[in-house]
Structure 1
Amino acid sequence: MGKASRDKRDIYYRKAKEEGWRARSAFKLLQIDEEFNIFDGVKRVVDLCAAPGSWSQVLSRKLYLPAKRSSDSKDGDVPLIVAIDLQPMAPIEGVIQVQGDITNARTAEVVIRHFDGCKADLVVCDGAPDVTGLHDMDEFVQSQLILAGLTIVTHVLKEGGKFIAKIFRGKDTSLLYCQLKLFFPIVTFAKPKSSRNSSIDCSSGWLEGPNKVYIPFLACGDLNGYDSDRSYPLPKDAQGSYRSLDPVQPPIAPPYKRALEMKKASSQGITELEKLSLES
C-alpha cells in the first residue's frame, strides 16, 4: 500500500505525522485520558514496551513539558517519566530511557532508582507481539505479554496506582479480566475511537456457566470526530496536489534491519557467505 493510499484510508495515520507523533497510537492514549483523566495527579510514570515512543511523547507533552514551562514549578514538581524497551529509540524531552527486559526484576530496580526509591503513579504499556494473523494465537501471546508486564508493574506501581495496557479481543478476554482483577479492584476495557473496528485491540467478553461475569466496556474519544474505519479525501495544497508526509521518527534500530540488509545484498547479487568473506 502506497503512502497516499494509507493516508486516505487512515486519517489518524496522517494526523499523527501532521502533529508530530511518531505513531497513530498516540491518539489512543489521548482519548483514554479524555475519558478517564488518567494523568491527574501523576508525578511518576513508566512506559513499558515504549519504542518507537508515541506514548512517551504523549506523557512528555501532557506531564513533563507543562510542568517544565510553569514559572511556579520546582525541580521536585516536574514529573519523572521512564520508558523501557528492549530496542533503543530516539530521545524524547523529559523521558529517561531504560533499555531492558520488562520481565526482569533488575529492570524494576533501575526504575525505582530513577524515582529515588518511590513508586510510579501510572504505568502504561502499548506493547504487542508481531501478529501472525491467527487471532487465537495472537490473543494468547498478547495476554501473556500483559501478564509478563505485571511482573514489573507489581514492583514499580504504588498501591492505588493506575495501569493502562493494550489488549487483543477474543473468546478468552474474560479470563484476562479475571486475572487482572486479582491485582486491581477496578478493571475496565475501553475502545478508543482511533482504534479501528477491524482491529483486534480492546474489547469485552465474559466467562460462561457458573463463572459468568460481564466486563465493564466503554468507548472513548469524540464519537463525532474522525472514524478510523472510514476513508477521507486527501488534503491538497494551493496547487491542487497532495504531498505525502514522511514518518516523524523512523526506528533507529529495528529488529528487521538485518533482514533488509540481506535482501539488499541479495538483490545486488551478493550472497550472505560472500558478504561474510568480504567483511573478514
Structure 2
Amino acid sequence: MVDHACVSFYHITNIVKAQEKPSGGDYHPSLGELAVSFLTTLPSEGRDKAQQEVYNFAHWYGWNRLVSELSAPNVASYADQIASAGTEAVKKLVPVRAFLNYAWRRRLTKTNVGMHLRPRKAPSRTTLSPGLASQNTIVLTAEGRAKLEADLASLREERSEVVEEVQKAAADKDFRENAPLQAAREHQGHLEGRIQELQSALKAASVMEEGGSTSGIGIGSAVVIQDVESGKELSYVLVDSREANPLKGKVSVASPIGKALLGRRQGETAEINAPGGIFRYRIQHVQ
C-alpha cells in the first residue's frame, strides 16, 4: 500500500529543492516552503522532533507569509508564548532557532532574527537566576529540596544524551551548514547552565526545621487568612521562590502576599498591595 503522506512530503520537498537558490536575490520563499526545505537538511533520526516545532512556528507566524517578513519583535513574542506554557520551552525553541539561522545563512532575512528567540527571564519554580542561586542563605522545605535534587538528577541524565547528540552531529565535517550541531550545542549550553544553577542553589540551601519559626510566619508556614471585607478564607504555604506553585497553594515569600504575611502572627491583620487595590486579611491560623 502506498503511504500517501510520505509521497506528499517528498513531492513537496522535490518541488522546493527545484525552486531553491543558494542565496537571497529573487528567491522569496514562504515560511512553509522554507520549513520543508530546512527539514531535508536534518538527519532522519532527528527530523520528526524538529518538524513538529518548526511547523508549529510556521503556522503561528503564517505558513504562507514570506520569510523576509520575519521580525525580531514577533519572534521574541513567540519565545515568550512558548515559555509561558511550561519548562520544556528551551527544547521547543532549539529547532526553531536552527531554522531561523538557516534562513539567515541563506540571506533570506535582513537580520539574524534567531538571536531574539529567547524568552524574557522571569522567576519560576524551575528556572533559577544566577543571582538568586548565589545567595548565601536559601531556606527550603524538605519537599522543596527533594524536588531540586530530582531536577538536578534528571538534567544530568539528559546531559549524557545531549553529549551523544553533539558527537553525532559533529561527525558531519561541514560545520558551515551543520544546523543540528549548532542546535545540539545550544541545548548543551543551556543544560550546563541549569545544572550549575541547581548545584549552587543546593549547596547554599538549608532545610528548615520541623515546627517552623517561633518568631512569626516564615518559610514553611501553613497559613489560613480571611478577607476582612468578604469573609472568604484562603489557605497558603509560604515557600522560597524556587518552590512556588500558586496552583498548589504555595506562594513565594517574595510575592505581595508573602511579603505582607512574613513575620506576622495569628490574629493579626495584613494589608496586601495588589494591582486591583489594597486588600486586608485577618490571619486566622498559622501552622
TM-score, normalised by the number of residues in structure 1: 0.21
Q: Determine which structure has greater relative contact order: mean sequence separation of CA pairs < 8 Å that are 6+ residues apart, divided by chain length.
A: 1
